Copies of this chain bind each other. A is one copy, B any other.
């Protein structure tokens, strides 16, 4: 951003309080819990305000159907689903085009950190279920999925944390609600970043942004991901402490 543009831009933005009383950089109340689905190899629950998501991991296990196996690495299978009663208007059960796309970008993001090469011919399944949706479900799902993989002991080079930032009611804000997403000028940018190399692996946008606005959003998002990551770590530690195990979580988690 040029200095001039940056100055204009920041002057236009007033740090007024948001509809739910938050400041621009505030998250909604976040709750993260690990190990919530007993039968699964790993699982996590993530709550961003009224957005609530459960993720569970099975694997690695032999790929089936077998002809889809990759001889060089594990196949990562991600399924994001909203429960019919998680939204205002009942959603028909089963995947739709939106959920297929979200499943794909979540998988694409996770595949940048999971050490798939360690398990040729295998599959690792990640199921994400949205219990209640109030914006930010894909980033909550990805944050939960990343934790569930760690909980399942799947080797990862680093952790992934995700949050949506954007513009609403004239200012750049963090962790938008559905109400903010419905604002006239709203733009929502879900972003995922890795914990060590700080690389962005999920990034979507639709709306109308200048490059300067986008840059400001990206800044806020990457700062936010660092904070989310700290909460993910805490949740993992909490579970392992509870289980009375030797706590020795690698740096990347």
A residues bordering B, Cβ < 8 Å?
A: 64-65, 67
A142–chain B nearest beta-carbon distance, Å: 31
- Can you list 2 A-B contacts with CB-CB less than 8 angstroms, sorted by A residue number? A64-B67, A65-B67
Residues of chain B lying within 8 A (CB to CB) of residue A64: 67
Instruction: Say whether chain A's binding surface is mostly helix, strand, loop, or mixed.
Output: loop
Residues of chain B lying within 8 A (CB to CB) of residue A67: 64-65
- A65, B65: Cα distance in complex, Å: 11
Residues of chain B lying within 8 A (CB to CB) of residue A65: 67
- A64, B67: Cα distance in complex, Å: 10
A64–chain B nearest beta-carbon distance, Å: 7
A251–chain B nearest beta-carbon distance, Å: 42
- A64, B65: Cα distance in complex, Å: 13
- A67, B67: Cα distance in complex, Å: 12
A104–chain B nearest beta-carbon distance, Å: 20
- A67, B65: Cα distance in complex, Å: 9
The chain B residue sitting closest to A64, CB to CB, is: B67
- A65, B68: Cα distance in complex, Å: 12
- A65, B64: Cα distance in complex, Å: 13
A44–chain B nearest beta-carbon distance, Å: 32
- A119, B94: Cα distance in complex, Å: 37
A46–chain B nearest beta-carbon distance, Å: 34
- A105, B65: Cα distance in complex, Å: 29
A45–chain B nearest beta-carbon distance, Å: 31
- A200, B67: Cα distance in complex, Å: 41
